Structure 1
Amino acid sequence: MANAFRRRVRLHWSVAITAAAMAFFCAGCDSHPAAVDASAAAPSASVPAPKAAPEAGTVPLSEAVDPKSFSTSGPLVAEQQADIAAERNGRIVSIDVRIGDHVKTGQLLAQLDDRTLRSACESQRARMASVQAQLLEWQSEQQTAEADLRRAEAMRDAKIISEENWEHAKYRVDETIAEVTRFREEAAAADADLGTAKLQLEQSRIVAPFAGVVGRSSVRPAQEVKPGDVLFWITAEAPLQVLFTVPETAMGAFITGKPLELTTADYPGLHQPGRIVRVSPVVDPASGSIQVIGGVVHPSPLLKPGMTMQVRLAP
């Protein structure tokens, strides 16, 4: 039994020693890949980081635009363009212009039914005349009453009339002053009402605010309109301007006063001179560009507002 016990103890010790040796060997094996990884990572630390991509809407300096060869396009616009809208409710009774017609400042474009307003104006004029006549009458009464009061005061001082008679003359003056004040207020109110009626009557006439050409018309006979309804679109024909943008990398060449060359596919043989009249002081960060306005010098009669023009710096 003792020998058997000793054999089991020796067996347990040999197993333990073998397990410890295998653990040590495995630990040694695991340490080698770590060293290899460290040595492999060392060279990668010296590799330069990739360059960041340029932000959207910007142009790298290496891709700067050559202003001499740069060209862009933009629309022709007139300095004066406007939608002509109704200013009051009403019914269209006449249309005096059509698309393409040239108009002058103040020229009648369309007419609303104004019969009721004309009647109201005449009524207000009659009221105004009546009030003014009564005002003049009471002003005359006031002058007479004041003259009578001055005489009554002199007679009272001379003991010719009683205090009661003087007070009657004084009361008459106060009465005429009150009536003059009342009719002056009525005259002011009548004048204001007449002004309102005249304004409404004037708003019945749809007129051109400046000289130009009728570009659009959205009105028809007997149409019922309300304030804000757009009836016409008018544009001036001159002066003309061209609106365009240039990239930030070329903006140094586009300065106020620089000459431009304008062309259009509609008329290939046309070379229209222009000149930069205004440059935006800020760069649009979304597109990396600036807004430029060019003036058209002695525009050709072929050019019309709304046309698209090719733009480049003049050689």
Structure 2
Amino acid sequence: MTTSFGCLDRRYCAVTITLVAAALLCAGCDSHPAAVDASAAPVSTATPPPKAAPEPGSTALAEATDPRSFTTTGPLVAEQQADIAAERNGRVVGINVRIGDRVKKGQVLAQLDDRTLKSACESQKARVASAQAQLREWQSEQLTAESDLRRADAMRDAKIISEENWEHAKYRVDETIAEVSRFREEAAASEADLNAANVQLEQSHIVAPFAGVVGRSTVRPAQEVKPGDVLFWITAEAPLEVLFTVPETAMAAFTAGKPLEFATADIPGFHQEGRIVRVSPVVDPASGSIQVVGAVVHPSKLLKPGMTMQVRLAP
């Protein structure tokens, strides 16, 4: 019995040693670091370098700090410009000016056929004269009838004439008063018709509303026109202004009275003095800019309304 138990103990010890060795081997394997794939790209954690700031004296820095470096463009316009349109129906029978002609205020630019209107005016003048003549006659009749009524009043009071005769005198006065009123209204209506005919006759003359230059002409001989048809475009030669916008970031430097310098690509090397005359008090929220009006000081004869001007604050 003693021998059997000894053998069992030896076998049990051998199994125990084997299990312990296997456990130590597994622990050793887990303790080694994991293999790294050499083909994988390394991940960079470095922060990208900041963008370089504008160097002192650079254009970007100058535009950001000095509004005088700001340059913009705007149209050159005259203070007075107008489309000249026909005011009535008619046929063009005469054209007196061409593009580029200088005109005076009230000068006739074109003529519409006015023969029918002239005849109507003459007819209306005759009607007015006839109504006025009849009005004067009935006014004279009224004075006579009123004088006869006063005598009839005295004779009726003296029992010299009958009531019937007095009523006849009274009726005559009432009749003349009614006729005077009728012909006064007729004369007034005839005068109104004459005035309307005269207005239409005047509208037959297409005239310049101010002194300037004919910039455009769309009229041709024998053309049939109607009210609203534009026939000419007139622009004054002076004063001249430039309309331009300034961003909100630079508007503090653009105040009324500041001197300006104008240039144009149409005339190389050309420079023109100016000054700010008006500044809008409102910023346009859509563009973040304000409207500025600059007047041209002693404008050159080379400048023409409609040109595009380059604008900057004068140094």
Structure 1, unaligned stretches of length 5 or more? 1-60
Instruction: Call closer, same or farther: CA 1:302–1:209 in 2, change over 3 Å.
Output: same
Give the 4+ runs in structure 1 shifted more than 3 A.
Answer: 61-65
Which deviations, in whole Å up to 9, do the C-alpha atoms of 1:260-284 show, x marking residues without a partner? 1112223334321111111111112
* Count of residues paired in the alignment: 255
Conservation of the 8 A alpha-carbon contact between 1:218 and 1:232: yes
What corresponds to 1:32 in structure 2? Answer: none
Correspondence 1:96 to 2:104? no
In the aligned structure 1, how far is the partner of 2:296 from the partner of 2:66? 24
Tell me, in whole angstroms, the C-alpha distance in 2 between the residues paired with 1:262 and 1:136. 70
Q: Tell me the residue number matched to 2:216.
A: 216
Cα deviation, residue 70, structure 1: 1.1
Is structure 2 residue 237 aligned with structure 1 residue 203? no
Relative to the length of structure 1, the TM-score reads: 0.78
Is contact 1:84–1:234 with CA below 8 Å preserved after alignment? yes
State the Cα distance separating 1:154 from its structure 2 match: 1.2
Matches within 5 A, 1:29-40: none
Aligned to 1:282: 282
Counterpart code for 2:159? K
SS of corresponding position for 1:268: coil
Deviation at 1:245, TM superposition (A): 0.7
Structure 1 SS opposite 2:250: helix
Question: Structure 2: how far apart are the matches of 1:223 and 1:281?
Answer: 47
Contact 1:65 1:249 in 2 (8 A): no
The offset of 1:129, in angstroms, is 0.4
Q: Structure 1 residue 152 and structure 2 residue 152: aligned?
A: yes
SS of 1:118 mapped into structure 2? helix
For the residue of structure 2 that corresponds to 1:282, the secondary structure is coil
What CA deviation, in whole Å up to 9, does each residue of 1:146-177 have, x standing for no partner?
Answer: 11111111111122212211111111000000
Q: For residue 11 of structure 2, what is the aligned residue in structure 1? A: none
Deviations 1:276-295 (A, max 9, x none): 11111111222211110011
- 1:32-111 to structure 2, matched below 5 A, reads 64=64, 66-111=66-111
Contact (CA 8 Å) 2:63, 2:70: kept in 1 or not? no
Counterparts in 2 of 1:307 and 1:182: CA distance versus 1, 3 Å: same
For structure 2, the 5+ residue unaligned runs are 1-60
Residue aligning to 1:180: 180
Question: In structure 2, do the counterparts of structure 1 residues 112 and 65 end up closer, same or farther at CA, with 3 Å as the change threshold?
Answer: farther
Residues 211 and 62 (structure 1 numbering): CA distance in 2 closer, same or farther, change over 3 Å?
A: closer
The alpha carbon displacement at 1:65 in A equals 5.6
1:105-131 Cα offsets, whole Å, 9 max, x none, are 110011011111110000000011000
1:299 & 1:164 partners in 2: Cα distance?
89
Residue identity over aligned pairs, in percent, reads 84
- The equivalent residue for 1:33 is none
In 2, Cα distance between equivalents of 1:62 and 1:271: 22
> For 1:13-32, what aligned pairs fall within 5 Å after superposition?
none
1:247 aligns with 2:250: no
8 Å contact from structure 2 (residues 117, 197) kept in 1: yes
Task: Name the structure 2 match of 1:115.
Answer: 115
2:232 corresponds in structure 1 to 232
Q: 1:226 to 1:65 in 2, by over 3 A?
A: farther
For the pair shown, the structure with the greater C-alpha radius of gyration is 2
